[in-house]
DNA sequence: CAGACGCATAGACAACTGTCAATGGAGTTG
DNA sequence: CAACTCCATTGACAGTTGTCTATGCGTCTG
């Protein structure tokens, strides 16, 4: 059951545990926070599967939420660098960012 | 620059966009929320690299945070099913959960 | 130009989150 | 048994987040 637990003598607590570089962690956390919402994760899933950019009005129709809320969620994804927007007339079309870091792309590959 | 945008006639907005199964999304979101914090992501990084279970007091020493806060973060990770605890005397040793879903394991592989 | 339409922004509010100090509980040691 | 150690839980509080309604801005059309 239990793997080999390190020896530890009372009062000798605690040896060190080295954290990771905080810059990388902060960057990852920003992406994770953007994805850690059902609506936004769904949005990313749709965009990942879509062959062409998707009009944001399609999301407004699909997710039982108000139009400003949908806009707010998409803005979060854009702010995190996950999606890009292209305007055509009065419409706004969103797609996955094309310059995604390989690690971020791998993340989406696993998630959605 | 712009990929081929779908034809759209005014007033015909909006065609459908099919979301993913919500059960899977909710499960993913739970894990993502657990990871979307610098301290917790660092913890996972340490545990992933550790050969043996790590005493939680080591985290208390490493992350300039109070002991209850460290305990709280670890509890979140445990609640999300990402880590397991084994008690030895008065000490609590944490390790990555050994029954992690392949997708979750792949997620950690990319992240930390 | 005037109205309609699509989208974003602003403001408000409840719910959730990260943090700490204080306390409690289980195990160890003298 | 009594004191001590390590860890978890509780309660409190500020900051963040998700949601809505209301408003504003740019574009198209009659």
Per-residue model confidence as pLDDT tens digits over B21-74: 888 999 999 999 999 999 999 999 999 999 999 999 999 999 999 999 999 999
Mean pLDDT of B85-89: 95
Question: DSSP string covering B63-89, please?
Answer: SSS-HHHHHHHHHHHHHTTSEEEEEET
List chain C nucleotides near protein: any atom < 7 Å from a Cβ. 5-11, 17-22, 25-29
Least Cα separation, residue A110 to chain B (angstroms): 6
Question: What predicted TM-score, i.e. pTM, was given to this entire model?
Answer: 0.90
Does the C-beta of B5 come within 7 A of strand C? Answer: no
Per-residue model confidence as pLDDT tens digits over B24-36: 999 999 999 999 9
Tell which residue, A18, A17, A76, A16, has the closest CA to residue A44: A76
Per-residue model confidence as pLDDT tens digits over A52-110: 999 999 999 999 999 999 999 999 999 999 999 999 999 999 999 999 999 999 999 99
Measured CA distances, B72 to B22, B31, B50, B91 (Å): 28, 16, 21, 16
Can you give the pLDDT at residue B20? Answer: 80
In degrees, rounded to 5, the angle at the alpha carbon of residue A60 between the alpha carbons of residues A57 and A61 is: 90
Sheet architecture: strand order including A83-88? A54-55, A91-96, A83-88
* Residue A14 clears pLDDT 90, i.e. is over it: no
Average pLDDT, chain B: 89
Can you give the pLDDT at residue A72? Answer: 98
B61 touches chain A (CB under 8 A): yes
B42/A2 Cβ within 8 A: no
């Amino acid at each position: 059951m239990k793997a080999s637990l390190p020896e530890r003598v009372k009062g000798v607590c605690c040896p060190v545990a080295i954290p990771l570089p905080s810059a990388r962690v902060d960057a990852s956390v920003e992406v994770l926070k953007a994805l850690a919402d059902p609506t936004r994760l769904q949005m990313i899933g749709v965009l990942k599967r879509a062959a062409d950019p998707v009009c944001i009005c399609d999301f407004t129709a699909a997710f039982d939420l108000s139009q400003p809320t949908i806009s707010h969620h998409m803005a979060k994804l854009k702010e995190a660098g996950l999606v890009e927007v292209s305007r055509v007339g009065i419409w706004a079309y969103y797609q996955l960012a094309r310059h995604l870091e390989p690690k971020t792309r791998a993340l989406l590959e696993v998630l959605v």
